[in-house]
């Protein structure tokens, strides 16, 4: 395929497995890398709007039924979302728009690219500030017909802007959602997620989801770990967004500066 139509690329890679330090336990010291066949590579190489063949926008506020008492209005304006300099830029701004005090953007691959199992990863540099809530996550492709959390939610990376050394990896499903979700954090030592790019990913199989930061495996969730039905054996679609305020981070405060931008270098899927 040519560069312009680079949504789905097939390239066979050598399988590499790197096991280090402590055998096969899933702790912060364990490194496991398993990559076989690259089946999707979005490198954000063409300036302008995100590729419409892969990405759609969600427009509006949490009143649409997918909010968490967030404060932003999601738009498709280049001021809030654009591909430039070889990366996707999602920018939260403090401005009045249609009753909201902030604007930002949220894009998804729903109906265009839906994946069941594999390794899903993105290289991202995160923003900073109280009330800034970026995420790289997935929802079940049946979300239109099955209510949340029955459709399932995989939060590959979730981050609170006033905690720049820590990210969260979380599963939501029936019986374990919201404040009862299955979650674990990963923290950097002597580094921050807003000062450089990091790779956030999962490896997902029939009976497990492994969570990674920079190829370090820091958590594994299996059906035995959830307190309800395991709903992660169906296709899911990808979402990238930067929320402002909401139930988890709270509202911005006087120390939060705007604009704040999440930079996404690439998104990749391996079988």
Q: How confident is the model at residue 134 (pLDDT cuts 50, 70, 90)?
A: very high
The per-residue pLDDT for 64 is: 61
Q: Is the pLDDT of residue 96 over 90?
A: yes
Q: How confident is the model at residue 36 (pLDDT cuts 50, 70, 90)?
A: confident
Euclidean distance between CA atoms 1 and 9, whole angstroms: 7
Number of domains in the chain: 1
Mean pLDDT for the stretch of residues 172-183: 96
Indicate the pTM of the whole model: 0.88
Domain that holds residue 229: 3-270
Q: The tokens of 96 are what?
A: 């009045």
Q: Do the beta carbons of residue 214 and residue 33 sit within 8 Å?
A: no
Q: Is the pLDDT of residue 15 over 90?
A: no
The per-residue pLDDT for 249 is: 93
Q: Where are the beta strands (DSSP E) in the chain?
A: 11-17, 34-42, 56-57, 72-74, 81-84, 87-97, 100-104, 106-108, 114-115, 118-125, 132-140, 153-158, 166-172, 182-187, 198-205, 208-213, 216-221, 236-244, 260-270
Which positions are catalytic?
153, 158
pLDDT tens, residue by residue, 46-66: 999 999 999 999 999 976 656
Q: Is the pLDDT of residue 146 over 90?
A: yes
Euclidean distance between CA atoms 139 and 235, whole angstroms: 9
Residue 189 burial by Cβ neighbours in a 10 Å radius (0-12, 13-18, 19+): exposed
Which CATH number does the domain housing residue 91 bear? 2.60.120.200
Q: The tokens of 72 are what?
A: 């932003």
Mean per-residue pLDDT over the chain, rounded:
89
The per-residue pLDDT for 11 is: 37
Q: How confident is the model at residue 68 (pLDDT cuts 50, 70, 90)?
A: confident
Q: The tokens of 208 are what?
A: 């497990």
Percent of the chain with pLDDT over 90: 83
The per-residue pLDDT for 54 is: 98
Q: How confident is the model at residue 5 (pLDDT cuts 50, 70, 90)?
A: very low
pLDDT tens, residue by residue, 225-262: 999 999 999 999 999 999 999 999 999 999 999 999 99
Q: The tokens of 27 are what?
A: 């702790």
The per-residue pLDDT for 34 is: 64
Give me the long-range contacts of 27-31 (CB less than 8 A, separation at least 24): 27/218, 28/186, 28/216, 28/218, 30/216, 30/217, 31/215, 31/216, 31/217
């Amino acid at each position: 395929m040519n560069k312009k139509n680079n949504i789905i690329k097939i390239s066979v890679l050598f399988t590499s497995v790197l096991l280090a330090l402590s055998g096969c336990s899933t702790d912060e010291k364990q490194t496991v890398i398993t990559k076989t066949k690259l089946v999707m590579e979005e490198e954000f190489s063409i300036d302008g709007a995100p590729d419409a063949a892969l990405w759609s926008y969600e427009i509006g506020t949490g009143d649409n039924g997918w909010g968490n008492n967030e404060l932003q209005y999601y738009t498709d304006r280049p001021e809030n979302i654009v591909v430039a300099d070889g990366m996707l830029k999602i920018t939260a701004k403090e401005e009045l728009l249609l009753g909201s005090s902030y604007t930002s953007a949220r894009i998804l691959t729903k109906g265009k690219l839906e994946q069941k199992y594999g390794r899903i990863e993105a290289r991202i540099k995160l923003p900073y500030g109280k009330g800034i809530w970026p995420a790289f996550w997935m929802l079940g492709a049946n979300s239109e017909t099955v209510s949340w959390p029955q459709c399932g939610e995989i939060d590959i990376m979730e981050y609170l802007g006033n905690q720049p050394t820590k990210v969260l990896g979380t599963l939501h499903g029936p019986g374990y959602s919201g404040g009862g979700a299955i979650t674990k954090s990963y923290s950097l030592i002597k580094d921050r997620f807003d000062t450089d790019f990091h790779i956030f990913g999962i490896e997902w199989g029939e009976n497990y989801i492994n969570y990674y930061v920079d190829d370090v495996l820091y958590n594994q969730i299996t059906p035995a770990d959830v307190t309800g039905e395991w709903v992660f054996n169906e296709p899911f679609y990808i979402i990238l967004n930067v929320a402002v305020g909401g139930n988890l981070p709270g509202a911005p405060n006087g120390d939060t500066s705007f604009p704040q931008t999440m930079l996404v270098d690439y998104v990749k899927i391996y079988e």
